[in-house]
Structure 1
C-alpha cells in the first residue's frame, strides 16, 4: 500500500466519523398519567403533541396508575388510546413502581406479572408485542445477587431489560413547573421549562462527549423522560432542538441494535445511573465523569423547598 493510498483511507475514515449520524430513541416512563388526564378534562395534551411529531416513541406503563383516580373506565380508555397508536412501542414498568432493591425477587416478580396483564392484551389487539421492561427508578438491585436473579427472570419471561443513556431529572423540573402553573405564575413556569431544555441539551452534549471519548463515535442514545406536564409542553421543543443539532429520532428496537448495548453491566448498586456509567469497570473511572455532569443543583433546591411547604 502506498503512502498516498494510506492517507486517502485515513482521510475517508475521518470524514465518516465527522459525518456519523447522531440518533436518539425517546422513551417515556410512568404512562398513563391519569391524575393529569383528569385534571385536563380527560384529554392527554402529551399524546396530542406526540401525534403531531411523527416520530417513534416507547412508553413504559404502570398499570397501577389506572386505579389512582375515581375514573377507572376513562383511564382504561386512555391506555387503549396510547396502545393503538402506530408510532408507540409498549413496555412494562411494573404495576405500582416500587424499588426492586427493597422488595427482592419474589415480590418484584409479582409486580412484573401484574404490570403486564392489561398491556399484553392491548398489545395483541393492536398487533404489537410486549418485549421491553424498565425498572422503576432504574433500580436493578442493591448487589450482584439481586442483579443476576432479576436478569435471569426477565430473560425467562422474554423481556429485554431497557437501558437509557441520557436522563435529565425532568420529574424534578416538572414538579416545580406544575407548581408555578397552578399559581398562575406563567413567567416563572416558562423559566423552568426553558431551564429544562437547556439542561437536557447540556446532558446530551455531555454524554455525546463521553461516548466519543470511550467509543470514538456517536452511539445510538436512549433518552428517558416521563409522562408529565412539563413534557406535554416542552418535549416537542426538545425534539425540535435535537433535530437542529443533527439528531434523527429512531425506535427503541433500532437504537438497541447498537453494539454498545451488548456490553456487560458492571454496576451493582441500586442507583439509576446512565448505562454509559454502568459499562465502566470501576468507580475510579465513573467518578471523574460524574463530577463533570451538568449541574441540577438549582432545580433540586427549588424542588426540595416546595416539598417542605
Structure 2
C-alpha cells in the first residue's frame, strides 16, 4: 500500500478504506450491438452467444451502446433490447464513437452524440443514465474535460469508469484478419491468447488496486461486443471462477467509493486505476504491459505461427 502522503495528495482519507474484500468483477461491453459481418457468426449469433454465456454463469452485465454500430436500425435495436430483456443494463457510448481528444471533435458535437444516443436507449429495458467515454478519453483540453463533466452532471449521468481495461479488441482484429484469409483456421491459439491476456490484466489491476487502496476493489472490466468474446466469453467466465473471483453487477461495483473519484491527471485512454496512479506520481511495476494495446499477445501469436510476422 502506498504511503499516506499519496492519499493526502489525491484527496483520499484512509478512514474510508474498508477491510479487504473478496475479489469481484463486473463485466461491461462497449460498442454494441454490431451489425458488422464477421466470419463464423452473424450479428444475431454473436449477440445470442454473448447472452448465452452470461446466462449460463448467472452474470448481470452492462452493454454500452454505440448507436451507429447498429442500434439505429430496427434489427440492431432488437439486439440491444434483447440485453435489457435478459436482465442486463444499458448505457450510452455515443453515436459514431468520436474521440474527444481529437482537435476536430467539439464539446458541443460530443454532447449532441450523447443526447442522440440517449433518446434511443432510454426506451430500452435496463436503461441506466451511464456514460462510457469513447477511447476512455475525457478531452484534450481543460475546457473540454471540465465542460463534459459539467454536462454529464447536469444530465444526471454517471461516468461509467473502467478499472480493469483490456485489449480484447486487438485480439479480435487479429482473429478476424486470420479468418478472412483462412476461414478454417485453428481457433485454439486465439482462445489461449485471449484467456492469457484477460488473466494477465486482471492480476495486474488487482495488484494495482491493492497498492493504491490497500484492498481489492470490485473491478469493472471493459470488453467489447465482438467476435472473440462471442466465441470465448464462456471460457473467460469459467477462468475467473477457477481463479476464485466472484461476479457482481456493474451497478453494485459502481457503489464503491473508488468510482466516485476524479483523478487530477486522468490518463487518456486508460483505466481509472492507472489515472489514479499517475495522479499520485506512481508508476506501477509492469506498467508497459498495461498500456501496450496487446502488443505482447500479438507477438505471442506470431511466435506460435497463428499470425504472420509483420513485414
Q: What is the TM-score when the length of structure 2 is the normalising length?
A: 0.81
Partner of 2:122, secondary structure, is helix
Q: Per the alignment, do residues 149 and 294 of structure 1 end up closer, same or farther by CA in structure 2, a change over 3 Å counting?
A: closer
Q: 2:140 & 2:150 partners in 1: Cα distance? A: 16
Displacement of 1:201: 0.4
CA distance in 1, matches of 2:68, 2:290: 34
More helix per residue: 1 or 2?
Answer: 1
Gaps of 5+ in 2: 1-18
- After TM superposition, the structure 1 = structure 2 runs for residues 165-244 of structure 1, keeping only pairs within 5 Å, are 165-182=163-180, 183-187=182-186, 189-244=187-242
Aligned to 1:105: 107
Over alpha carbons, which structure has the higher Rg? 1
CA offsets per residue over residues 253-302 of structure 1, 9 Å max, x none?
A: 11011122222312245x21111121235474237662364863244567
Counterpart of 1:186 in 2: which secondary structure?
coil
| Pairing of 1:260-275 with structure 2 (within 5 A) | 260-268=258-266, 271-275=268-272
- 1:121-160 equivalences in 2 (<5 Å): 121-122=123-124, 126=125, 128-160=126-158
Paired residue total: 281
Quick check: 1:286 aligned with 2:283? yes
CA RMSD of aligned residues (A): 2.8
For residues 193-212 of structure 1, give each alpha carbon's deviation from its aligned partner in whole angstroms, at most 9, with x where no partner exists.
21111111011111111111
SS at match of 2:220: strand
Within the candidate set 69, 77, 87, 1:65 is matched to 69
Unaligned runs of 5+ in 1: 1-15
2: CA distance between counterparts of 1:141 and 1:27?
22
Aligned counterpart in structure 2 of residue 253 of structure 1, from 251, 271, 286: 251
Partner of residue 40 from structure 1, selected from 32, 42, 56: 42
| Structure-1-length-normalised TM-score | 0.82
